[in-house]
Structure 1
Amino acid sequence: MPRLSLIVPAYKVQGYLSECLDSVLGQDYTDFEIIAVDDCSPDGSGAILDEYARRDARVHVIHLTRNVGLGHARNAGMEKAQGDYILFLDSDDTMTEGALGAIADRLDATGDPEILIYDYARSYWDGRIERNYRADLLRSDGQDVIRLADRPQLLDLLQIVWNKAYRRDFVDRVGLAFPTGYYEDAPWTYCSLISAESITLLDRVGVLYRQRREGGNILKTTSRKHFDVFDQYQRVFEFLDAHPELDQWREPLFRKMVGHYLTVLEKPGRLPSADRAEFFHRASADYRARVPKGFTRPAGGKGKKLALLERDAYAAWAGAMTAVKFRQTVKKRARTAVSFSKRGAMGAFYQSQLRLPLDENLAVFSSYWSRSVSCNPAAIDARLALLAPHIRRVWVLRPDAVGEVPAGVDHVILGSRECWAALARAKYLVNNVNFADVVVKREGQVHVQTHHGTPLKTMGLDQRKYPASTDMDFDKLLERCDRWDYSVSANRFSTTVWERVYPCSYTTLETGYPRNDVLVNATAADVRRARATLGLADGTRAFLYMPTHREYQPDFRPHLDLARMAEELGPDVTLLVRGHYFYGSSPRLADLRRSGRIVDVSAHHPVEDLYLAADALITDYSSAMFDYAVLDRPIIIHAPDWDVYSAVRGTYFDLLQESPGAVSTSQAELVRLLDSGDYDTADTTERRAAFRSRFCEFDDGHAAERVVRSVFLGEDTPVPFVPFPERTHAPTPAQALAPVERA
């Protein structure tokens, strides 16, 4: 039987769940079990839990068949717990290093008290860590074991259950269980503390309490569910009524109740405006029904609030709150006026356009900072033209990109009056990066963020851990991301990353990448056309080399001697070389192109044609590997500087261990693989299959249609996914060039 049982309920936390579980399983103390409860989560949380259970016998998973809420999910976990002590951990929080060992040591040293209270710290998205402001209550005064009467101020700690270890027989003796509804921690916390005969304290942070920037916290949800607080305190006082020996706690808990009611009333964004009066009247009724004899209101502003509550004087209370809100609004308007005055470069024209009605049938597209008509936005544009031809589609492009605009594509020049008018009035804005900071998100506008790759390297807030790789202003980044309404995801792996590193209030669309539809749907004729465009002879093996950008290198520096490599591989091999789009076409590549066996395809669009034409992909850390894997063709990872890249930029998994194919770390090794054919074996095929199942799970050729139907047509029924075993993909060059057999 384990010493500790940790109950971890999970609901819509796929972006944080792995970090939570890792923080527990990585503890140096090992005598514990995790009872993980999938509260019928609609995201990938259940699958993540199952994967951990397969890897570690200490993880036990319960899958609930319907969503029952946090409290009842905890109850389900407790029914399965076998430990001497029960601990709770919310699935977006983490245990600190060594916390479980410190908890176990304290329990042993104090003779197994009924409750151990440890500390927590708030962990903010910007990296700040702030310890509980009442940490002083956990400092030792020389007593190892106490009762609440020895330190009644413990009631002033936040009413939470996940900073305590509860002895299981104590939980059974008191009959503790979680109720349904919001604020379910209040009755458990108060009833347990006043009932405990032995409590010990641990002056140590055991939990990092994640302060999620958007979502995931009931305190940030406007809802009538906040009325549940009345039922929770009804349970507290019913418990007191059933235990007259605990009557000394009636006044302290009355004070906690009233303070809690006022917090719900005063905090913006909790109660719908139309329901505030009703909440006030119910709070007033509870006040009068439960006020203890001889209760004295505190002095000052708090006392005045209690007086209004006792008299049920909602009008007077609302008037006072309106005056406070008015003062805050005046200050906010002053700040807004200053902000707009600093946007002179935007011009009065843009401001005037923002005051005009939205054009419900206008969609604006941009890709790679307006450098091209490409990537996921281009694929969505093409599908939108077929499914919703009534919507006008306009691309924002830099002046130097206009020459590459495909025929028939309507466009405006970045920074022009026409551009600002389109951005101000379009109903839909679609981009694979963020629009400029000065672009205003209007009420009613729909922003679609498509992204432009599955992340191997760290992204968003995770880049804070690797300051050498970026000088990003993360506050500004999240302000830009706040404009997103939809985030298009290529796979569940990407979803968990995006939702964690861009913590904003958008809806994730797990559709697959629209740009990859062509890799599924292309025909043999499309493959032949792509090769002919590049001048590839029928007998030529074409290797596409696509290295990624390295922040610590200012220009494109191939990690290969391409001329020598071409000579060693022979005349039947062509190297298609594409530098990262940050570099453009370098003079070095122009020189190599004259060798005749190297084709500089850095400026070739669309990149999907290069994928179709190539027999195999050679890359290092580029997201191209995730797209090319859709084709189920060989991929070679050439990673001579993996140690440096992973240390400087940070990565989400070890590519050398989880590669989609053969791996080389030197040019000699790469040439040997290509020359011998060892890049395409049963082993590399098996690696690629595992990689595809993980990262190409949604790419069935209908991604763009899913986005269009969900976003532009408002359809609720998603386009079903083609089962993975039934999916097709574009034929290989060998298949496309094979002679057609005649009957």
Structure 2
Amino acid sequence: MPRFSVIVPAYQVQAYLAECLDSVLAQSYPDFELIAVDDRSPDGCGAIIDEYAARDPRVRAVHLAQNAGLGMARNAGIDEARGDYLLFLDGDDTLTPHSLQAVADRLAATGDPDVLVFDYARTHWDGTTLRNRLADRLTEDGPAPFTLADRPGLLRVLMVAWNKAYRGEFVAREGFRFPAGYYEDTPWTFPVLMAAGSLATLDRVCVHYRQRRQGSILRTTSPRHFDVFDQYDRVFAHLTARPELERWRPELYARMLDHLTTVATRRDRLPRGSHPAFLRRARAHCRRHRAPGTPVPPGLRRALVRHGLHRTFRTLRLAAALRRRARASAGRGTRKLRAALLRLHYRVQRHLPLRADHALFAADPAPDHGCDPSALEAAFHAHAPHIRTAWLGRPDTAAHFTALARSKYLVHNAGFGPGLVKRPGQVYVQTRQGTPLGHTGLDLLEHPAAAHGTDFAGQLREVDCWDYVLSGNRHSTLTWERAHPGGYTTLEYGSPRNDAFQHATSADVARLRASLGVPEGAVAVLYVPARREHRRTQTPPLDPGRLLGLLGPRFTLLTRAPLGEPVQGARLVDVSGHPDLPSLCLASDALLTDFSPLMFDYAGLDRPVVLHTGDWDTFRTVRGAYLDLLACPPGPLARTEEEVAGVFASGHWRGVRSARLRAAFRARFCPYDDGGAGERVVRHVVLGQPAVPPGARGPVRPPAETQVRAPLASVPQPSGPLPVTEGR
């Protein structure tokens, strides 16, 4: 008998069903059966289910003789289930990776309760993911298991069947079944929670709830939304038959009123002209099921539904629509007027004297501690303290345009946009965003997929404003001057953002590791995948959770990959929102990446780099590449998750060949990363002094190491003065 029976009803979801079934079959926890129920679907759902059942013995196909609806399809799955616990999953939703393992672990930890409630996230058609806003009700703090009386807030979590695991014996003993019709989850969820002798929660997103643009029941205009009344009649009949549950009537009444209000006020549910009938039935229901003395939830909309005031409801709805239109019209006029006033303000400010002691910094994305403009600001403070620095504010404010017009020094790593009018006497320093690997600038003309929406004429207008462009190496210099042709001067001085690598001490490294929760003695691997322009959603090519399982207990994974759910366990640390990328580099023992330009910065640390090259050919085709990474990599190459794990398990990641590859890569792309790049830029641009060449500041020490590995020698630095290349 399997531990879990996962029941998947399917009706007109052929576009999503394979992804749903795959999400179950790919679970790391193996002890389950998958019961897929074809609800006489007119599309290809039945054939898809049969294909999966034929090739995987864990899949059992059930075909209904006629379309019966979601509730009846689930009942058919219950009749076939043999597992200790039942889980339901709609055919267009998915289980998140390792969720069955997490559910099994939590059930074992809480003594196999009757019901385990877990979390979900809504996934929208545009790729965005939003976690349940009532996730705080699923906290695992406090005793477990418990009863509903201990945590009554669970009644307010979305009333669906698929965010819970149900003990099969409990369901059979209580005789729970799904009714027919819309909103079939309502008379299932409430009675189940009230009858459960033991409950537990799992504070983890286990289901991705797909928000379909079309086809969803909740987005279908139909008279069947009147089924909600029958479903709540069933809920309160269950209450009447069990006097011991009467205490829950006020809460269920409030939930019913909220539900009826939602159905009545959503524009895409009730057919035109049916609102009066719906509100009359709502009034009757509220009178029938409200016990004397039951408190009434406040709110105008609830009051209109509770009293069935359909004429007042229609009048207020019409008034609200008129107000929305009036506000939108006024808002458009206000925005146009404000934009015109700001343009006028900018023009006036450009006729006022420049502030020679002001420097304006900006970055894309928003300013953080890991970009070159931020590092340059620190160098301004250290070597030109008479310059006052500021960051560019919101573009819809007068302060934004005042700073843009009056500051002598402008520093950006992308561009100020088409609104910039560079004045005589202003100095524009363009830092760029690291050493280029993928094609950029005019070179993207040959790669329309990656260049989609790029304003090349606007880019060239911005290039004409540049006075200086920073470069970390000769490769970058030649690339910038070809891809962004202009009359600027290239300062091949190194990358200011990498100065932090030379300035950090061993104590700084230990502090950073502790702040991230890296266990003492662990090998911290920083995983940073590159953005895929050819993909709408940025799913990481490597699954961080699975990879960590392959690496073993000695390793900790610091992942910049978007996970879309809370990270479980101290060994998997989500650093996707961490603002200081150099600090993450310093805290790690190795970098795992594919085509992220971070590899060029990380090489300056002289720490191992492992490249995942599974879709290298796709990357080169879509965007183009200036280097053949397979011919000159900074470290070992691996195409699959298993090969990545093998590189670390075998020790190749920090072996002799890895060190030799890294040394050649570092000599080529990090020749000036000695901790003085920011100082050289400030001396040249602001102070008008010759740049201090590497070595003149004293011996270059190796970057601070973690305690996991022995220090490695620093790369030799070039001798002689730094080149300054004039743009042609």
Q: TM-score, normalised by structure 2?
A: 0.50
TM superposition score normalised by structure 1: 0.49
